[in-house]
Amino acid sequence: MINKVISHFKILEKLGEGGMGVVYKAHDTVLDRSVALKFLPSHLIQDEESKIRLKNEAKAASSLDHPNICTIHEIGEHEGQPYIAFALVEGDTLEVRLSAGPLPLGQAIEIAKQISKGLSVAHEKSIVHRDLKPANIMIDKHGIVKIMDFGLARRTGATKVTKTGSTLGTLAYMSPEQVRGEEIDGRADLWSLGAILIEMVTGEKPFQADYDASLMYEILNEAPKGLSTIHEISSPLFKIVDGLLERDVRNRITSASELNRRLNKIEVSRVSLVERKTATRLVTKSKDSLTTRVVREIRRRRLLPYLGSYLVLSIGLLQAVSYPYLITICS
């Protein structure tokens, strides 16, 4: 595909490949700009359902005009292969950033704020992403978050294109109602964002298992991993995440705009609370005197009841050893 011309786009390089598409960097020869082109992978070209889903991505995303949603330029077809041209975002996916470990608290909250803003616009138009995950979140070189890949997006109430009994979305971030194959709305995206928030702050997914069936069981029945850590870091954030990961959709945070309002109320200092607590522990440890550490060790090992006996025995031994020398000196 490299150097091949598709319509008025010249393919320059391959950017990535996922279950629903192959993405290339291309040059728009008409408007003289760099774009990203997404094609269905070759083994799915004959799958009519995948073609419909790809076109739905363009229709859904092209109706959304917001800084936190990737802009769709056009949709087309070349030699029977559909493609979408969209804005080229220079930066990293959230997935790539998380591969280096958890993010500072302030940065995680800022990313969540921007995602919630984009989702709010989509949900107001009854468009549900359905596959929100770190791999579908881009962060450009200016720190602007872009929600990518509306390949699973569908307007609420629109005709389903999925096969009977099938479930779309990446399992680890799916809401319980999505796992059960029920009708969903924007609150399913909010559950996914709650799972992403835990991963951003703790570095671990809230639901993990080796097999899909086990993972589905965890989502439907088990407490999310990392919630207790969130509580230690920030009580206000804990309340938000707990509200996002409410299994009963009726009790979940109701909208992305409400989520954004709550996130904006959290005050985050320049140094995260985790870093501050760690620094405090280190300073306290360095200031401990030898006596303090000995006393703490005695208490930890529960040796205090025996301390008196040790002292009496030590004094007795000292007297016994010193007695002959005392006689010599006195005489």
The set of catalytic residues is: 131
The DSSP line for 86-112 is EEPP-EEEHHHHHTT-PPPHHHHHHHH
Chain centroid, CA 124 distance in Å: 23
Dihedral angle computed from the Cα positions of residues 169, 173, 179 and 181, in that order, rounded to the nearest 10 degrees = -40
Residue 52, token pair as written in the block: 């419909």
Of the candidates 79, 100, 94, 166, the residue with the CA atom closest to the CA atom of residue 137: 94
Residues 6+ apart with CB under 8 A from 95: 133, 134, 135, 137
Q: How far is CA 280 from the centre of its chain?
A: 27
- Reference 167, options 122, 214, 126, 216; nearest CA is 216
Report yes or no: 145 and 137 within 8 Å, Cβ to Cβ: yes
Contact indicator for 215, 209 with CB cutoff of 8 Å:
yes
Helix (H) or strand (E) holding 326: helix 304-330
Q: What tokens were used for 117?
A: 């803003």
DSSP 137-165: EEEETTS-EEE---TT-EETTPPP-SPTT
CA-to-CA distance for 222 and 228, rounded, in angstroms? 14
